[in-house]
Structure 1
Amino acid sequence: MKTIDKNIRIGIRALMVALCASLFSCSDFFDPSQDLVQEKEDHYNSLDKVRRATIGAYAKLQDLVESLVVMGDLRSELMTVTYNYDAHLEEIDLHKISDDNPYADPRPFYDVILNCNDLLTNIERSYADPQMTENKQQAFKAEIRTLRAWVYFQMIQRYKTVPVLKEAVDGHFPDYQPREYNMVDMVNWLIKETEWAMEQPFLDWKLFDKDGKEVSQPWRLTRINRRALLGELYLSSGNYQKAADLFYDCIIVDGGGADELRLKCSEPTGRSKWKDLWKAVTLDDHASSLGHLTAVPFDKSKHQTNNLLSLFSNATVNKYLLKPTARSVANWEGQELKGTTFLNRDIYRGFGASYSVFNQDTIVMKYLTGKSTYRDDAVYPIYRAADLHLLYAEAINRAGKPEVALEVINESLEGSPETAGIRGRVSLQPLDLLDLRDKYPHLSSDIEIVEMALLEERALEFAFEGRRWNDLVRFATRAGKPEWLAETVAQKYKGIDDKKADELRSKLMTPSNWKLEIQTENSDN
């Protein structure tokens, strides 16, 4: 198989044939008593079946998690390969991705999308059930269009253009060439989709066991939040004040109010609480309910496997293929703990929390509990409290208020007495604007200076969660400074393999090398 730098080949026709057979055939996800495998003609003829189909579409997010983390962090300066050789991972590490690399495969994204399209096209059948009111049906449509929009948004951040499928498939495929959207077209369309969803009712149903007791449903913390997604879309389009308003509402409104603890990044956040963010998501779990807005759970008791554990763990039963870079470790080691003069270390998010060392190997700790054994139940966070705060800070900074952004990083969020700040809730010294000006003398404005501080804080907060590459692309594109990205990524090999560092820097100075290409069966070779 030849090696290419930017192309991932799929056949749209073959893709639809293969995925059509898989619609809603996922294993049990949130509720093992639910039969999510249904006959085609019976998929949507009742409210209960529409509900199952919606949960089934969300269940397929599990298949995206490994790719999101690997492609999101391995292309950045925070993660690299171990001594256990894997060709596909090394390609990603060096930005030389072959056309058969499974981590860059777009088909799992389309698997979710086609499930969404099938439900949206056929949901009218549910009117046969008197329980399916117009209000409930609109709520389901909004839910599934929001999920589809989130998936397409992940794709357009990875690929230069994305073939957009909006309709259901039924096994009969004429010659079909979907329209390909670039970043601008995709974001504009997704804004319209999500704005429509914002105007619709929200799903609000409850499940009860045979004794009439309400069942705690992880699904209720797995649904894509409309405000958060629309905020990200506005941020991408440059509508910074609208983005800031939406992120603020996520924190306050979706968090239950200004005086509530949920989503407020309250202090103190010790290492034990930090680790709890990666435990199984339940409404009853204090850390989950306070820290997560949207998360994808994995539960081995229901035969759900999180392959991240095998990639990161150096236990003999696992592969240990990926590890933190020296640069990512240095990020945490360079922080100053508040009130302490002899310790320079982010002890809450750093050693023993985000990473650790076992048997002389540096390992990722975010999906680990205890001393050396990975959890049976792991969580992948899509939106959590710190993300909302830092996205708000990013948006409000670009809206012309860098001082407000710095306050959010350090210690407070206006209108919320419970918020301690991103650094404050992990007992780190606050960042000072005068010091930052000295640190970045080459930057021309406080907005750019605070933006660099935000980029560094996101590395401390979200390492190994798959966000880093998109962060680097977003910040460098907005500033018009490809050297921000190129220099940052090259640092993973600086002083270790200077030839690789130079090759990475040279390649990544060209923004057209930042995204992959999806080549359809009708594309030119």
Structure 2
Amino acid sequence: MYNKRMMDFNKKVIAIVVVALLATGSWSCKKEDNEAPEDKLDISNAYRNSSDADAAVIGIYGQFLGLHKTFILQNELRGDLMDVTANADQNLKALSNHTATKDNPYIDPRPYYTVILNCNDALKNFQLMVRDKKMSVDDYNKHYSDIGALRSYIYLQLGIQYGSIPYITDPVEKVDDVKNLSSFPRITFDQLLDKLIAFTEALPYKEVYAYPTGNPLVTTIDGSFTERMFISKPSILGDLYLWKNNYVKAAESYIKIFDYENTNPEFNKSFSWYKVVYTADQWADATVRYGRYQDEATLLFESGWRTMFTLPTTNRIWQAEFLWGIPYSSNFKPGNPMFELCSQQYGKYLVKPSQVIIESWNAQRQNSGIPYDARGRLSYSTSAAGPEITKFTGNTLPASAFNKGGTWGIYRATLLHLRYAEAANRDGKGKLGWALLNNGIINTFYNGTRNAAGAPAPVSFDDIASMRTPYAAPYFMDASSNTDFRGPWYRSTGIRGRAGITNLDVALQTDVLGLEGKLIDEGALETAFEGNRWPDLVRIATRENNPAFLADRVYQKLLKAGDPNAAATRTKLMNPANWYLPFDWK
């Protein structure tokens, strides 16, 4: 009984800490004490027990949340899907057209390292705590693994943006060491990937969710559920292996997430969560839908696909799609930066959808015959002031100049599908990659008996077997469905299927480069403005040894925007050395 009361008490304490620290990002390894020596970073009183460790974790995530704006601008504005408006200053314009110099505030690496140094401090102190028996081994495994994986994720972003960087894993104990960070030796991006894989693989706890139900860090507070606030270790491991072209290891990590809910006794979770399904039910309604078939005027904005970006993290539909997302509190400043960047009414309207992505959405065709991809209509709006990105703000109600809530959705099911499909395609499983991209497992693999309406109606074991992918792990997926049994993938309808978009040519199933390009194109249609575009372009251009894959796309954005230096930028980006931002520690 005592232990239960203490657990309940700790949950209440953590709930308070979540609101205060996450909203403000106020945790720091430096003690605020005017009497402390100015050349020392004093953390002696910060790590006394597990509650302090919990507070450290939340505080670090609060600081990480402060990277949201930088993350979006560097990953989207440097790519081809996001453009600047007339309100943007010269620094933003330079970031967009690849002329940024080292004094540009949008390319300062210090905010990344601020979080990394606090991660290093926490990791060292977690080790001291378990040594001194201030923390159990089980708590240590979870806390250390969580912050270690987050640090790996931040370092991956640094490598993508800057190429060669200092890789610092020890705590910084003197203020002068922080000031002299630029003197630390640098390693190449490829060397960084090797180090990150080795470190992340060695973490003692690598489950899909950072903390299990019952842990004080898993709670509901201020309308938000904290379970998915923390990084999912298999996702970062999968991404690291994908960057290294180790496709089997990448797929093994990704499918661990796909399979995690398969045995959930709530069958709607086992069949729908992370599976990308076409459904209008309360468990996974992230579908592009209309009030009336073939009537484009009845496109649903208040339910379906658009709502998953602005639903609270307590909502089942949000949880069916997102495995990592950090909520903002509307009661605390500074609030969601997407309002400042995108909103005409409540922000500064600095960025907008590029003409490239608008034309890409308009080039698709729906199964109903409507001649465009409705995900575009659900991601931006148009007015006399110009196109406005509304994907993250349109349903955040009640919005105001003082209420800028929402969630930074970092990793979700369709991104997982795209990354896994990329690995499968490169590993000779192009048909599986095509299935996840288009209309799902059954619709792609089933070759058995059908009823008069054309729907699968299996009458033999062979029919049932064809509802499963004909591959061994990590590419086995069971979509079997009859009156006796249903496999966890039987509802799978694929990314384009959920969006109601026509299938791509089946010939792509055996065209590795062609399908890879289509997966990246679909990433634009589905995850535009979410922070994935620049990494996707760099990864594929590097793997294919084809700088034009990246350079041509950026060129088209600048050309359609009327930038007179579009051709010069293309020439510049044909040299991979120019893909990386100047790293300058001021």
TM-score normalised by L of structure 2: 0.76
Please say if 1:456 is aligned against 2:529: no
Measure, in 2, the Cα distance between the counterparts of 1:163 and 1:301: 37
- 1:507 corresponding residue in structure 2: 572
From 185, 190, 197, the counterpart of 2:203: 197
Count of paired positions = 479
Q: Following TM superposition, by how much is the alpha carbon of 1:90 offset from its aligned partner in structure 2, in angstroms?
A: 0.5
Q: Counterpart of 1:102?
A: 105
Q: Does 1:309 align with 2:339?
A: yes
2:458 matched to 1:427? no
- 1:187 partner amino acid: L
Task: State the one-letter code of the partner of 1:275.
Answer: R
Q: Which residue of 2 aligns with 1:441?
A: none
Provide closer, same or farther for how the CA distance between residues 401 and 94 of structure 1 changes in structure 2, counting only shifts above 3 A: same
Task: From the superposition, tell whether residues 255 and 274 of structure 1 become closer, same or farther in structure 2 (CA, over 3 Å).
Answer: farther
Which residue among 419, 427, 430 is the counterpart of 1:391? 419
Tell me the CA shift for residue 291 of structure 1: 0.9
1:86 lines up with 2:89 in the alignment: yes
The 3 A distance-change label for structure 1 pair 42 and 205 is farther
Retained in 1: the 8 A contact 2:23–2:329? no
Partner of 2:484: none
Unmatched tracts of structure 2, length 5 or more: 1-16, 32-42, 280-286, 289-300, 442-476, 479-488
Instruction: Tell me the amino acid that sits aligned with residue 373 of structure 2.
Output: D
1:409 alignment partner in structure 2 = 437
TM superposition outliers: structure 1 runs of 4+ over 6 Å? 128-131
Structure 1 Cα separation of the partners of residues 78 and 408 of structure 2: 19
- CA shift, 1:30, in A, is 4.8
With over 3 angstroms needed to count, the CA separation of the structure-2 counterparts of 1:29 and 1:371, relative to structure 1, is: closer
Displacement of 1:392 in angstroms is 0.4
| Larger RCO (alpha carbons 8 Å, 6+ apart) | 1
**Counterpart-to-counterpart distance in 2, 1:421 and 1:406:** 9
Look up the SS of the partner of 1:80 in the other structure: strand
| Contact 2:23–2:62 (Cα < 8 Å) also in 1 | no
Match of 2:360 among 316, 331, 339: 331
Could you tell which deviates more after superposition, 483-492 or 365-374?
A: 365-374
Residue number in structure 2 paired with 1:344? 371
Distance 1:520 1:274 in 2: 42
Q: Is the 8 A contact 1:163 1:178 kept in 2?
A: yes
Residue 113 of structure 1: how far off its partner (Å): 0.6
In 1, Cα distance between the equivalents of 2:497 and 2:20? 40
Whether the aligned pair in 2 keeps the contact of 1:259 and 1:417 (CA below 8 Å) is: no
> 1:200 & 1:76 partners in 2: Cα distance?
32
| C-alpha deviation, 1:501, in angstroms | 2.1
What whole-Å deviation, never above 9, does each CA across 1:333-374 have from its counterpart, x for those lacking one? 111111x23x21111x111x1111133410101122259957
Cα distance in structure 2, aligned partners of 1:477 and 1:160: 12
| Structure 2 counterpart of 1:259, from 256, 261, 270 | 270
8 Å CA contact 2:101–2:582 kept in 1: the answer is no
Amino acid at match of 2:211: L
Tell me if 1:357 matches 2:366.
no
1:475 to 540, 559, 564: 540
- Could you list the per-position Cα deviations for residues 92-134 of structure 1 after superposition, in whole angstroms to 9, with x for gaps in the alignment? 1110112222221111111111111111112245359967212
Choose which of 118, 122, 125 in structure 1 pairs with 2:125: 122
SS state of the match for residue 274, structure 2?
A: coil
- TM-score using structure 1 length: 0.84
Structure 2 counterpart of 1:455, one-letter code: I
Report the Cα distance in structure 2 between the residues aligned to 1:207 and 1:36, rounded to whole angstroms: 21
Letter in 2 for 1:329: I
Moved more, 223-232 or 171-180: 171-180
Counterpart of 1:113 in structure 2 is: 116
Gaps of 5+ in 1: 1-24, 438-444
The amino acid that maps onto 1:290 is A
Deviates more, 1:160-169 or 1:300-309: 300-309
Do structure 1's residue 179 and structure 2's residue 179 form an aligned pair?
no
Matches within 5 A, 1:55-94: 55-94=58-97
SS in 1 for 2:565: helix
Alignment check: 8 A CA contact 2:145 2:206 kept: yes
| Residue identity matched to 1:260 | F
d(CA) in 2 for partners of 1:143, 1:37: 18
- 1:294 counterpart SS class: strand
Deviations 1:156-208 (A, max 9, x none): 01112111111112236468743312111111111111111255685336477
* In 2: Cα distance, 1:318 partner to 1:255 partner: 42
The 1:495–1:37 alpha-carbon spacing in structure 2 relative to 1, beyond 3 Å, is: closer
Q: For each residue in 1:467-489, what CA deviation from the matched residue of structure 2 results, as whole angstroms up to 9, or x when unmatched? A: 11111111111111111111111
Query: Per the alignment, in what secondary structure is the counterpart of residue 420 of structure 1?
Result: coil
Do the aligned partners of 2:129 and 2:135 also contact (CA within 8 Å) in 1? Answer: yes
2:531 and 2:352 map into 1 onto residues whose CA distance is 13
Distance across 1 between alignment mates of 2:26 and 2:132: 19
1:47·1:129 contact (CA, 8 Å) conserved in 2? no
Residue pair 2:352, 2:389 contacting (<8 A) in 1 also: yes
State the distance in 1 between where 2:193 and 2:220 align.
39
**Residues 495 and 355 (structure 1), Cα distance of their counterparts in 2 relative to 1, 3 Å cut:** closer
State the structure with more CA Rg: 2
Is the CA contact 1:84–1:320 (under 8 Å) kept in the aligned structure 2?
Answer: yes
Q: Residues 208 and 198 from structure 1, CA distance in 2 versus in 1: closer, same or farther, beyond 3 angstroms?
A: closer
1:51 pairs with 2:54:
yes
State the shift of 1:43 in Å. Answer: 0.8
CA RMSD of aligned residues (A): 2.9
Give the Å deviation of 1:378: 1.7
1:388-437 CA distances to partner (integer Å, 9 max, x unpaired)?
A: 00100001011112121101101224321132100111111111233x69
SS in 2 for 1:28: helix
Secondary structure in structure 2 of the residue aligned to 1:170: coil
Residue 320 of structure 1: aligned partner: 349
Give 2:148's aligned amino acid. R
Say whether the 8 Å CA contact 1:26–1:36 is kept in structure 2.
no
